């Protein structure tokens, strides 16, 4: 992990852990964080639903541009943090962060990604007393592997049987993720045998955003991680399917609130290679039977 500058947290002193094995619940990835001082880091949009289970001595705080503030465990919708408008802060923060494919979000969390609409909601509002109970249980465990095992067991137990997403929508999501966003909506509609209008409507109502926006978010996610890895912006633009470097620049600024040159130092992204070594793979696989 690289140290950061200015008002950003020094990720070099973060305790970051990831499970030693892939989880048994498809569409779920998780990481553990122990952070002495979060500072005020910018949240970068991600193509998945985020579940944060906090159990530290103090509760992390998230503030958005509208003045809303959320403390403690929460759920955030697909693309949360658009425009770099959400900041996380706190001291002595400890949490398990779970990334969920939108295909399984309703089955596990009991809320449709469309209802989240890219914003955040307290886990207490969704799970009631169970939200604080899982925090208490995590705080009593000393190892990250045991915390991951407890979290996975919780998610597996909560997962309801049945399909909450059309097979056609699941297939379209899978194609978007696997292609890194380089697929046209009319092509997706043709592949699943639906009209463009029907795919657009079902996709948005079940996953929380229309297919074109989903493809743009997945493309951005791929491109921004290539920038963090040190690749040249011009090459990243070509590889990621942008018209040119200016197009990449506009997209990165729109999603993250900073330029491609600066986004490479954002703590939310620079820890990904450690926290999410298999980043993205389960998000594509879940829900496609």
Is pLDDT at 76 greater than 60 in this prediction? yes
Question: Among 189-203, 221-235, 255-269, 274-288, which stretch is predicted with the lowest mean pLDDT?
Answer: 274-288
Please compute the mean of the pLDDT values over residues 77-82 and round it to a whole number: 94
pLDDT tens, 209-224? 999 999 999 999 999 9
The dihedral of CA 217, 209, 50, 91: what is its sign? positive
* C-alpha–C-alpha distance, residues 288 and 111, integer Å: 20
Per-residue pLDDT band for 12 (boundaries 50, 70, 90) equals low
* pLDDT tens for each residue of 171-216: 999 999 999 999 999 999 999 999 999 999 999 999 999 999 999 9
Query: So what's the pLDDT on residue 285?
Result: 52
Q: Is 214 helix (H, G, I), strand (E, B) or coil?
A: helix
- Look at residue 288 and tell me whether its pLDDT is greater than 80: no
DSSP H helical ranges for the chain: 105-109, 113-116, 123-127, 129-139, 144-158, 167-178, 185-192, 196-207, 211-228, 233-239, 245-256, 260-263, 267-270, 272-275, 281-285
CA distance 26 to 64: 31
Tell me the angle at which helices 167-178 and 211-228 cross, rounded to the nearest 10 degrees.
30
Higher pLDDT, 57 or 282: 57
For the chain, what is the mean pLDDT? 89
Burial 206-228 (b: 16+ CB within 10 A, else e): bbbbbbbbbbbbbbbbbbbbbbb
Q: Locate 214 and state its tokens.
A: 């989903």
Q: How far apart are CA 208 and CA 112, in angstroms?
A: 8
Element (H, E) at 26: none
**Domains of the chain, start order:** 11-163 (2.60.120.10), 167-275 (1.10.10.60)
Q: Residue 233 in contact with residue 249, Cβ under 8 Å?
A: yes
Pairing between β-strand 41-42 and β-strand 28-37 as defined by DSSP bridges: unpaired
Tokens of residue 58, six digits:
């103090």
Residue 231 token pair = 């690749």
Residues ≥6 apart with Cβ < 8 Å to 77: 49, 113, 116, 117, 118, 119, 120, 208
Rounded distance between C-alpha atoms, residue 66 and residue 143, angstroms: 37
């Amino acid at each position: 992990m690289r140290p950061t500058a200015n008002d950003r947290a020094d990720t070099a002193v973060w305790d970051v852990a990831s499970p030693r094995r892939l989880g048994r619940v498809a569409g779920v990835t998780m990481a553990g964080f122990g952070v002495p001082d979060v500072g005020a880091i910018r949240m970068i949009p991600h193509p998945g639903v985020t579940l944060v289970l906090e159990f530290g001595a103090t509760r992390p705080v998230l503030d958005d541009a509208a003045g809303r503030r959320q403390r403690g465990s929460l759920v955030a919708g697909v693309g949360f943090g658009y425009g770099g408008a959400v900041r996380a802060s706190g001291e002595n923060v400890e949490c398990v962060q779970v990334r969920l494919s939108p295909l399984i979000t309703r089955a596990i969390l009991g809320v449709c990604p469309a209802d989240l609409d890219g914003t955040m909601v307290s886990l207490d509002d969704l799970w009631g007393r169970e939200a604080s109970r899982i925090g208490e249980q995590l705080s009593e465990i000393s190892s990250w592997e045991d915390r991951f095992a407890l979290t996975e067991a919780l998610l597996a137990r909560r997962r309801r049987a049945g399909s909450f997403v059309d097979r056609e929508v699941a297939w379209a999501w899978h194609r978007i993720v696997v292609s890194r966003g380089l697929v046209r909506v009319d092509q997706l509609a043709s592949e699943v045998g639906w009209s463009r209008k029907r795919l657009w409507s079902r996709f948005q109502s079940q996953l929380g955003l229309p297919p074109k926006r989903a493809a743009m978010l997945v493309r951005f996610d791929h491109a921004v991680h290539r920038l963090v890895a040190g690749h040249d912006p011009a090459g990243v633009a070509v590889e990621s399917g942008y018209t040119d470097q200016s197009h990449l620049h506009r997209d990165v600024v729109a999603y993250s609130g900073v330029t491609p040159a600066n986004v490479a130092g954002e703590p939310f992204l620079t820890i990904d290679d450690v926290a999410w070594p298999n980043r993205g793979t389960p998000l594509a696989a879940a829900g496609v039977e």
